[in-house]
Amino acid sequence: MSVEIEQSIARMRLPTGLAGLLPALTLIGLFFVVPVLALLLRSVTDPAPGLQNYAALLGDGTYARVFFNTFLVAFVVTVVTVLVAFPVAWMLAIMPPALASLLFGIIILSMWTNLLTRTYAWMVLLQRTGVINRALMAIGITDQPLPLINNLTGVTIGMVYIMLPFMILPLVGTLRAIDPMTLRAAALCGASPLAAFRRILLPLSLPSIAAGGLMVFVMSLGYFVTPALLGGTSNMMLAEMIAQMIQSLLNWGLGSAAAFILLVVTMALYALQLRLVGSKRPAGGA
Amino acid sequence: MTEPFLSIRKLRKAFGAFVAVHDVTLEIPKGEFLTFLGPSGSGKSTTLYAIAGFQDPTSGDVRLQGKSLLAVPSHKRNIGMVFQRYTLFPHLSVAENVAFPLRVRRRPDAEVKRKVADMLSLVRLESFAERLPGALSGGQQQRVALARALAYDPPILLMDEPLSALDKKLREEIQAEIRRIHRETGVTILYVTHDQEEALHLSDRIALFRDGRIEQIGTGEDLYLRPATDFVAGFIGNSNFLAAEHLETVGGAATIRLADGSVLSGINANGSFGSGQKARLMIRPEAFRLERGPRSAELAVEIVDVAFYGERRRIVARTAAGQEIDIRPTSSAMASHDATASRRQVFFDPAAAFLFPA
């Protein structure tokens, strides 16, 4: 009997070695590795062979400002997204399942709605004579319209809105896996709600916050539509700059170099996250 | 009059129209091991949660050392608790789990270290201090939970079916551990279980819950030997119930007629019965004898099955009225009898039999 089972397991064993991996490797090579190599090649050959594109990007103050601005926006967006997403995720994790499914539906629905439409909607809401400014003035919080658009504030609001589902979804999964009894146990041990959050809930959800945060950060680094529509000219982001280089200036070499720098930074961040979170995962834990 | 250590006064908890706990009143002296026993949904856990502060009672009071606990949030009640499920903090080592209540109380490092060592030796897990909870067995995890709940010397320890997730052998092992720890620390323990054997092994007293009320409270012996109601008799231990008709009661000793027409007297009457009233006669399986004793009532039965259970045998017999009863004589008593005789008399001391209203 047990021999039979063992044999059937052996038959089920997946093909190993290079031959078995060939289809997957071909796919990845064709659609991921080749384009990146082409990009790299272009950045060091266009318009002439050499590293002048990189030198121009890294040596110039204007470009440096764009890089700095890109990281600043991505950082602010990530922090705000985490701060907003955590309470929402917690609420979704502890509320009755039927209600939670409904709210999930609404969140997912917003993800499925066209990005451009959503960003234009924010333009309508955030402009000087928009709903938000008029409401704030009507209840007397301010007597002049606040500058909510064409600046960092506008970009942050618009991008946080778009990034929220990417943070909420993994976080809800993690928070749901935490037995509420664990928090009751913490309370009886003498932990105030704040102490229980700081010592139990936060450390347990940290891997998920880090993973979601990295995803949001990386997506924000390369974001185009929202910064272009809600941001100002003074705080251009990298994707906008690449678009300009290629569309308006037709400078493929410089654009490729900028894209490649973004890729390297992203991969470095991912490696860092793997080191920080990946190695600390509790052995044998649930 | 001095106030008892822990008192529960007219505790009531309603969820909408459903009343989970009906005006339960209890007094618990310091150092007692009291078990809340009852079927699921009988209100025992709800009562425990009200003491822990997880559920606000609808009315009534919980008082510890003369002070009401109701206005005190859970984290300031200073109560220890071990839960049904494993509630160790999965990201902290065994030692840090035990240290947790001391760390949130900002005790000095040296004291934390000493106390953690004491607690781990109390539950005999010294060598597991650096492990993460996920690397421990269920029984070990519950022992760590016990150490964590005792680390801050709480005046009371609540245990909510802590062994229900463990297998039988491990349960017995940890029961012994819990008894030893109760003896060594003198902590007052309130223990919730639906397992009557567990309740009998562990407790000083047992409060048997039924439908949100305490049916009977007393020592295990009280509940087993002197059940107040047929529910208690049926829940604790094994019982045979025979349909009977009450004839008369003199000085607490009842005379009854069984369905087969035989008349028995000297039965313990629980409650007052009218003449001719229908009643139920309760006899423990081990109260039956195969030989006539000095004060024996007798019952004619037909033997259906005899099985060997080690120290006892189990006989399934049928009364003349067609009702099956369970008889458990000691194996040696049985050996001297002819087990193949299919019809015979069995005997019992009428003082060990109880009459309950039908």
* Of A167, A159, A165, residue with least CA distance to A82: A167
Q: Is the per-residue pLDDT at A285 higher than 50?
A: no
Mutation target vs A (from B78, B104, B112; most A CBs, 10 A cutoff): B104
- Find the range with the poorest average confidence among A122-126, B215-219, B261-265: B261-265
Q: Which residue of A has its CA nearest to B158?
A: A188
- For A50-54, what is the mean pLDDT? 89
| Confidence bin at A30 (pLDDT 50/70/90) | very high
- What percentage of residues in chain A have a pLDDT greater than 90? 47
Please list, residue by residue across B50-83, b when 16 or more beta carbons sit within 10 angstroms of its beta carbon and e when fewer do: bbbbbbebeebebbbeeeebeeeebbebbbbbbb
Q: Is the per-residue pLDDT at A186 higher than 90?
A: yes
Tokens for B151?
A: 């680390």
Q: Is the per-residue pLDDT at A281 higher than 70?
A: no
Residue A191: its chain B contacts at CB < 8 A? 75, 100-101, 104
The alpha-helical segments, DSSP class H, found in chain B are 44-52, 94-104, 109-122, 138-150, 168-185, 196-202, 220-225, 230-235, 331-335
Q: Is the per-residue pLDDT at B336 higher than 60?
A: no
Q: Are B23 and B60 in contact (CB under 8 A)?
A: yes
Distance CA B192, CA B163 (A): 10
What are the boundaries of each domain within chain B? 6-233, 238-357
Q: Are B9 and B165 in contact (CB under 8 A)?
A: no
Q: Are B358 and B258 in contact (CB under 8 A)?
A: no
Residue A190: its chain B contacts at CB < 8 A? 75-76, 78, 101, 104-105, 152
- Find the range with the poorest average confidence among A51-65, A238-252, B6-20, B327-341: B327-341
End-to-end CA distance of chain A: 32
Q: Are B355 and B268 in contact (CB under 8 A)?
A: yes
* CA dihedral over B92, B97, B99, B102, signed as positive or negative: positive
The alpha-helical segments, DSSP class H, found in chain A are 2-12, 17-28, 34-45, 52-59, 61-94, 97-112, 115-126, 131-138, 152-177, 180-188, 193-196, 202-221, 225-230, 238-243, 252-277
CATH fold for the domain made of B238-357: OB fold (Dihydrolipoamide Acetyltransferase, E2P) (2.40.50)
Distance CA A44, CA A38 (A): 10
Distance CA A280, CA B92 (A): 12
- Find the range with the poorest average confidence among A215-224, B63-72, B327-336, B345-354: B327-336
In sequence order, the 6+-apart residues with CB closer than 8 A to the CB of A72 are A152
Q: Is the per-residue pLDDT at A9 higher than 70?
A: no
What are the boundaries of each domain within chain A? 18-280
Q: What is the pLDDT of residue B213?
A: 94
Q: Is the per-residue pLDDT at A283 higher than 50?
A: no
Q: Is the per-residue pLDDT at A280 higher than 60?
A: no
Shortest CA gap A125–chain B (Å): 43
B120 three-class SS: helix
Q: Is B148 close to A182, i.e. CB distance below 8 A?
A: no
- Facing residues of B348 across strands? B288, B297
Distance CA B88, CA B97 (A): 7
* Of A111, A278, A285, A282, residue with least CA distance to A210: A278
Q: Is B87 close to A190, i.e. CB distance below 8 A?
A: no
- For B123-151, what is the mean pLDDT? 93
Tokens for B128?
A: 């597991």
How do residues A197-210 score in pLDDT, each as one tens digit?
A: 999 999 999 989 98
Specify the length of chain A in residues. Answer: 286
- Count of CB pairs separated by less than 8 Å, A with B: 87
Q: Is the per-residue pLDDT at A142 higher than 50?
A: yes
- What percentage of residues in chain A have a pLDDT greater than 70? 91
Q: Are B313 and B306 in contact (CB under 8 A)?
A: yes
Q: Is A187 close to B74, i.e. CB distance below 8 A?
A: yes
- Facing residues of A73 across strands? none
- For B135-141, what is the mean pLDDT? 91
- For A51-67, what is the mean pLDDT? 88
Mutation target vs A (from B51, B74, B92, B116; most A CBs, 10 A cutoff): B74
Tokens for B101?
A: 């209540």
How do residues A80-110 score in pLDDT, each as one tens digit?
A: 999 999 999 999 999 999 999 999 999 988 8
When CB atoms are compared, the residue of B53, B91, B135 closest to A204 is: B91
Mutation target vs A (from B85, B87, B116, B160; most A CBs, 10 A cutoff): B87
The C-alpha angle B202, B203, B208, rounded to 5 degrees, equals 120
Distance CA B90, CA A199 (A): 12
Tokens for A175?
A: 């928070």
Give me the sheet containing B33-37, strands edge to edge.
B80-82, B156-160, B188-193, B33-37, B205-210, B213-218
Q: What is the pLDDT of residue A10?
A: 62
Shortest CA gap B235–chain A (Å): 29
Q: Is A188 close to B80, i.e. CB distance below 8 A?
A: yes
The single-letter DSSP state of residue A279 is: G
Mutation target vs B (from A179, A182, A183, A188; most B CBs, 10 A cutoff): A188
Q: Are B46 and B58 in contact (CB under 8 A)?
A: no
When CB atoms are compared, the residue of A179, A191, A203 closest to B87 is: A179
- Facing residues of B159 across strands? B82, B191
Residue B101: its chain A contacts at CB < 8 A? 189-191
Q: What is the pLDDT of residue A1?
A: 47
CATH 1.10.3720.10 corresponds to the domain A18-280: yes
Tokens for B277?
A: 């009233």
| Confidence bin at B339 (pLDDT 50/70/90) | low
Q: What is the pLDDT of residue B266?
A: 85
The CATH architecture annotation of domain B6-233 reads 3-Layer(aba) Sandwich (3.40)
Q: What is the pLDDT of residue B106?
A: 93
Nearest-Å Rg of the Cα atoms of chain B is: 25
Rounded-to-10 torsion of CA A70, A72, A74, A76: -160
| pTM for the whole structure | 0.80
Q: Are strands B59-64 and B253-258 parallel, antiparallel or unpaired?
A: unpaired
Please list, residue by residue across B273-295, b when 16 or more beta carbons sit within 10 angstroms of its beta carbon and e when fewer do: beeebebbbbbbbbbbbbeeeee
Distance CA A63, CA A241 (A): 9
Nearest-Å Rg of the Cα atoms of chain A is: 24
Q: Are A214 and A177 in contact (CB under 8 A)?
A: no
- What percentage of residues in chain B have a pLDDT greater than 90? 53
Q: Are A132 and A125 in contact (CB under 8 A)?
A: yes
Q: Is A286 close to B90, i.e. CB distance below 8 A?
A: yes
Does residue A47 have a cis bond before it (omega within 30 degrees)? yes
Distance CA A54, CA A286 (A): 46
B307 phi, psi to nearest 5 deg: -130, 150
